[in-house]
Amino acid sequence: MAEFTEVAAGVHVLRHESLNVNSTLIVGDGGALLVDTLSGPGQGRELAEAVRRLTPAPLAAVNTHHHFDHCFGNAAFREAGGGAIWGHRDAVAQLRDHGPNWQRAWYEQWLPTQPELAEELSGAAIAAPTRVVHRSATLDVGGRRVELRHLGRGHTEGDLVVLVPDAAVVVAGDLVEQGGPPDFTDSYPLEWPETVTALLELVSPDTVVVPGHGVPVDRDFVSEAHRQLSELDWLIRYGHRDRATAQAVADRSPFGPEVSLVAVERGFAELSGRA
């Protein structure tokens, strides 16, 4: 049974065994906010039960981006009595316009290796966020100020980060990942470093950073992630200038060739005006 762990005053993180994905619960006086709702109805119900073991307060949610492991539990969240769901406008558009296509593709992707996860996400009723964020929004969560920020494109076009200033916590979504390399499938590798630069401006040495996957990290970890993303950015730019193959550039990536090839191909397409 998944449980939350308190990482700062009134801020709790649940790391689900499926993909080590994080959901964060921010609890105020008479209100609470859940960041990311997991992969489908079963996980969503499990998450709702874990929330209610901590607080009976009225509950809203935020999706950090449109990928299934962060938002396919939205319908279960609503069925469990949850309220508004916040998301960036591009994440909302992805789910409304392309949700069923994404769902089929992700099902086929995960079925060979994780059939239980594939069945979980295939059974999800896709529910897009109901409240749209463009650049930023400020929420009152039981008397606590919580800020939603879109710092730029990176992991996806619609990444949101969540700031809890009174607890020195930043929920970074998949702009930062711990325990594995970034997922570049829908990424903007030539913009991701700049977006993480903006994220670092919000992070002090004492800040707890909750990544999309893995254990909470600190500013030094985010700085190293920024260095590696910047290295890949320049490898792509120089490789395109020198007419190197995408595979040759990916082979030099700090993240390894297997995960980086798609990033190089997306970067080359942008530099060639095809993206």
Total tally of structural domains belonging to the chain? 1
Task: Tell me what the mean pLDDT of segment 108-133 comes to.
Answer: 96
In a domain, 235, yes or no: no
Residue 149 belongs to some domain of the structure: yes
Under the banding of pLDDT at 50, 70 and 90, the label for residue 149 is very high
Please report the DSSP string for the chain in residue order. ----EEEETTEEEEE-TTTTBEEEEEE-SS-EEEE---SSHHHHHHHHHHHHHH--S-EEEE-SSSSHHHHTTHHHHHHTT---EEEEHHHHHHHHHHHHHHHHHHHHHHTTT-HHHHHHHHTPPP---SEEESSEEEEEETTEEEEEE----SSSTT--EEEEGGGTEEEEETTS-SSSPPP-TT--TTTHHHHHHHHHTT--TT-EEEESBSS-B-HHHHHHHHHHHHHHHHHHHHHHHTT--HHHHHTT-TT-HHHHHHHHHHHHHHHTT--
pLDDT attached to residue 1: 60
Q: Give pTM, 2 decimals.
A: 0.96
Query: pLDDT category, 273, cuts 50, 70, 90?
Result: confident
228 within some domain = no
Residue 272 lies inside a defined structural domain of this protein: no
Asked whether residue 14 is assigned to any structural domain, the reply reads yes
The pLDDT assigned to 275 comes to 64
Q: Look up the domain containing 156 and give its range.
A: 5-218
pLDDT, tens digit, 9 for 90 and up, residues 205-259: 999 999 999 999 999 999 999 999 999 999 999 999 999 999 999 999 999 999 9
Do the domain assignments include residue 261? no
pLDDT tens readout for residues 11-69: 999 999 999 999 999 999 999 999 999 999 999 999 999 999 999 999 999 999 999 99
Residue 223 maps to a domain: no
Q: Is residue 69 situated within a structural domain?
A: yes
Q: What is the CATH number of the domain that holds 83?
A: 3.60.15.10
